[in-house]
Amino acid sequence: MREKIYTIPVNEAFDDQSGKCPFCLLYEKLQEDELTLILGASMMEPDVRIQTNEKGFCGKHFHMLRTRKNRLGLGLIMESHLDEVKKNIKPGGFLARDKSAAPKKGIEALEKSCYICDRIAFNFDNMINTATMLYEGEKEFRTKFAAQKCFCLPHYRKLLEASVRMSKKYREEMAEDAAKVVGAYLDKLKEDVSWFCKKFDYRYDNEPWYDSKDAIERAINFLTAE
């Protein structure tokens, strides 16, 4: 199968030699691209601005935007977003039965919305579907897939959910390959976390850390994709 523009990032993630979950790598790239775009080329596009005014950003992405260089750009986005917020949390009018209903509804919607999260979710689902398509269509990709070191649990679940579109043969083959990757990684992770805990026992003071120094961080990433 010839390489297509939408298969390139997926193949690059599966070619990566860092040992990380390839879907985590894809998510990180999508997130970085969106953060860059929203404070750059996309900032003044009318259709994008309408969406950022309405949706705003989650706490995580507000913080990420705040730590980047273009604070003026963020200020301009914030200025028009606050206008929208003010409109949406305005109490009900004189004839409203419950004057608190409109603010509660507006705030609840705001707490659940994030322009960047929505963009990432849409593109990320497409990338997972692309991975299942490549698995079904390319022997070379199946080999790369089986050779992965890790699939984190959240992305492992999403992969299995996406596999329902595959033929039974390749769906079962992929599920088996993925289970082997996850099982092997989990066994090693448990071993590293156990050794990390032992190192706080004085009897192990003179023993090496082996691969356990970052075991807690790796376990959190495996469990949460964070």
- Count how many domains the chain has: 1
- In this predicted structure, the answer to whether residue 34 has a pLDDT above a threshold of 70 is yes
Q: What is the DSSP-derived secondary structure letter of residue 212?
A: -
- In this predicted structure, the answer to whether residue 21 has a pLDDT above a threshold of 70 is yes
Q: Please measure the distance between the N-terminal and C-terminal CA atoms of the chain and give it in whole angstroms.
A: 33
Q: Which of 122, 135, 121, 151 is nearest to 25 (CA)?
A: 151
214 lies in some domain: yes
1 lies in some domain: no
| CA-to-CA separations, 127 to 24, 32, 100, 102, in angstroms, rounded | 11, 16, 42, 38
77 lies in some domain: yes
pLDDT of the residue at 92: 64
3 lies in some domain: no
pLDDT of the residue at 42: 85
Contact between 114 and 58 (Cβ < 8 Å): yes
Residue 140 banded pLDDT, cuts 50, 70, 90: very high
109 lies in some domain: yes
Averaged pLDDT, 134-151:
98
Averaged pLDDT, 138-157:
98
CA angle 143, 166, 223 (to 5 degrees): 70
Domain with 126 in it? 8-224
From CA 190, how far away is CA 186, in angstroms rounded?
Answer: 6
Can you say how many angstroms the Cα of residue 196 is from the centroid of all Cα atoms in its chain?
27
Rounded to two decimals, what is the model's pTM?
0.90
Q: Which two tokens stand for residue 219?
A: 């376990």
15 lies in some domain: yes
Over residues 162-198, the pLDDT tens digits come to 999 999 999 999 999 999 999 999 999 999 999 999 9
Averaged pLDDT, 25-54:
94
Percentage with pLDDT > 70 across the chain = 96
pLDDT of the residue at 103: 87
188 lies in some domain: yes
- Exposure string (b/e) for 145-165, b if CB count within 10 Å is 16 or more? beebebbbebbbebbbebbee
The residue that leads in pLDDT, 134 or 105, is: 134
From CA 156, how far away is CA 174, in angstroms rounded?
Answer: 11
Over residues 202-225, the pLDDT tens digits come to 999 999 999 999 999 999 999 999
2 lies in some domain: no
pLDDT of the residue at 95: 54
Q: Which of 144, 153, 122, 136 is nearest to 24 (CA)?
A: 153
Over residues 54-96, the pLDDT tens digits come to 999 999 999 999 999 899 999 999 999 999 999 998 886 555 5
Q: Which two tokens stand for residue 112?
A: 């659940």
Among the residue ranges 29-43, 151-165, 180-194, the one predicted with the least confidence is 29-43
pLDDT of the residue at 72: 94
Contact between 161 and 30 (Cβ < 8 Å): no
Average pLDDT score, the chain: 94
Q: Which two tokens stand for residue 166?
A: 């595959």
